Amino acid sequence: MVHDIVVFSGSSHPEIAERICHNLSLDKGKVKLGKFSNGETSISINESVREKDVYVVQSGCGHVNDSLIELLIILSACKTASAKKVTAVIPLFPYSRQPDIPYTKKGAPLVSKPKNEYTFESVPNTPRATSRNSNFDSNETPSKDIQPNEILHQHQAPPPTFKLEQPTPSKADSPNHHHHHSRIPKIPESKENSTSESFSKNHTNSGYKQWVAQAGTLVADLLTTSGADHIITMDLHDAQFQGFFDIPVDNLYSKPILQHYISTKIPNYQDAVIVSPDAGGAKRATAIADTLAMSFALIHKERRSHKSRHPSNATNNELNSASSIESSNNSVSSVPLQQSLSELSVEKKLKFATTMLVGDVKGKVCILIDDLVDTSYTITRAAKLLKDQGATKVYALITHAIFSGDAIKRVKQSSIDKIIVTNSVPQEDHQKELGDSLEVLDVSKIFGEAVRRIHNGESVSMLFDHGWP
């Protein structure tokens, strides 16, 4: 039993707040949450917090933006009401991970439409037309049996009809021209080649690269400004995110309860293989593998560029037309002209998403370890690759299972035999969809013990390695 402590709950995940209060033998604080008719958030604190330690439990799930604003208002209200200390308990931290995905011209992300069947293949339908360094048409998906050169022939746009003009020598005394005279023919500007869209399609190695604005620093500043004195969260996607804060941040780990599940619920777990679905989670997976003395494997995904060594048919047509043009003009030889056009064809690259497995999983049980699953693309493709390499059974242990969009349908049709998640985000709807194939682990005891230890001024380091039973 702790004293002078109040635990408030937001609307995103009230169940875990009730469990935390139960572990602390407390009643949940009285707060009224609502919205005005125009969508603005309405908060009323119906309990005195003067000179008390206040803990606000709000997970970054559901309507994330509404949950974040709600959390900020509660923190500010408690700080204004003379609370001694205000701590934000955020099981899933919002905006700590934003994928580097291709965006449309209007700024909206390219979200795939729901499908009846999923292939779980990462080659070659990953590149899209608007993605950086990509020449694919978004409406066309080449089959996996086509070679890179054939794909280049198939998807290369027909050459525009234009006339090659010889360069005009610049005056030697002109101060604006410092380069040597070029013998490469000029391509006059037209509707086909003067727009920025055609430039982005034909020139794959342009100087500008698309980027996604990361809002981590902004969210950290908002929480600090609203009055948060302390942050408690779990399994940040990037541990360096703690550096965005000027206040203490306790990043708890789900590793102890995942290790406990592996050692008690998976038969002959010593013979199983811990697998990281991507290179970013390798450190997290190897920590569990080393603790349990298990084998480790890694799935590595990268996009490699493939060049065409031979000019395509379209390029040959360009060469023929160029040869006929230069035959009527004896001032320029045909060798530099053909070389320049050949170089243009070689520079055209294709991006292929290649997935490779590092390790031996044939005839073994595989345990995928990941901290966050949103669209489930990575985890389902990893399971498919493991089954193709001879794995007998695939478990997936996930800390934050958001399952947005059509992720549940994709998981249903995937090669994952059993998926284990934590209740850092609500899982009731997911359990109804997946049934017995989904098992939920409770992390409220870890958060409850962390709250108790922080309130009493005790160390929380033992929770990193041992959790709380």
Over range 8-28, report the average pLDDT: 94
Band (158; pLDDT cuts 50, 70, 90): low
- Mean pLDDT, residues 82-91: 95
Q: Residue 84 corresponds to which amino acid?
A: K
Residue burial 299-309, b: 16+ Cβ < 10 Å; e: rest: bebebeeeebe
Confidence of residue 111 (pLDDT cuts 50, 70, 90): low
Mention the CATH class of domain 255-303+355-441.
Answer: alpha beta
Q: Is 126 helix (H, G, I), strand (E, B) or coil?
A: coil
pLDDT over threshold 80, residue 469: no
Measured between its terminal Cα atoms, the distance across the chain in Å is 18
When pLDDT is averaged across residues 222-232 and rounded to a whole number, the result is 95
Phi, psi of 380 (to 5 degrees): -75, -35
Q: Cβ distance 274 to 367 under 8 Å?
A: yes
pLDDT tens per residue across span 167-206: 555 554 444 444 444 444 444 544 444 444 444 444 444 5
Grade residue 19 by pLDDT with cuts at 50, 70 and 90.
very high
**More confident call, 327 vs 413:** 413
Q: What pLDDT score was predicted for residue 416? A: 94
Q: Whole-angstrom Cα distance, residue 84 to residue 52?
A: 5
Express each pLDDT in 368-408 by its tens digit. 999 999 888 889 999 999 999 999 999 999 999 999 888 99
Type of residue numbered 358:
V
The residues with which 266 forms a beta bridge, in sequence order, are: none
Same fold, 5-97+214-252+446-466 and 255-303+355-441: yes
Angle, helix 313-327 to helix 334-347, in steps of 10 degrees: 160
CATH top-level class of 5-97+214-252+446-466 = alpha beta
Average model confidence (pLDDT) for the chain? 76
Strands, E, within 156-294: which ranges?
230-234, 249-252, 273-276
Could you tell me which residues come within 8 angstroms of residue 6 by beta carbon, excluding any fewer than 6 positions away?
Answer: 29, 47, 49, 52, 53, 54, 55, 83
* Structure tokens given for 222: 């908002």
Distance CA 23, CA 454 (A): 15
Residue boundaries of the structural domains of the chain: 5-97+214-252+446-466, 148-203+309-347, 255-303+355-441
* Strand extents, DSSP E, 280-331: 295-307
Mean pLDDT value across residues 118-144:
48
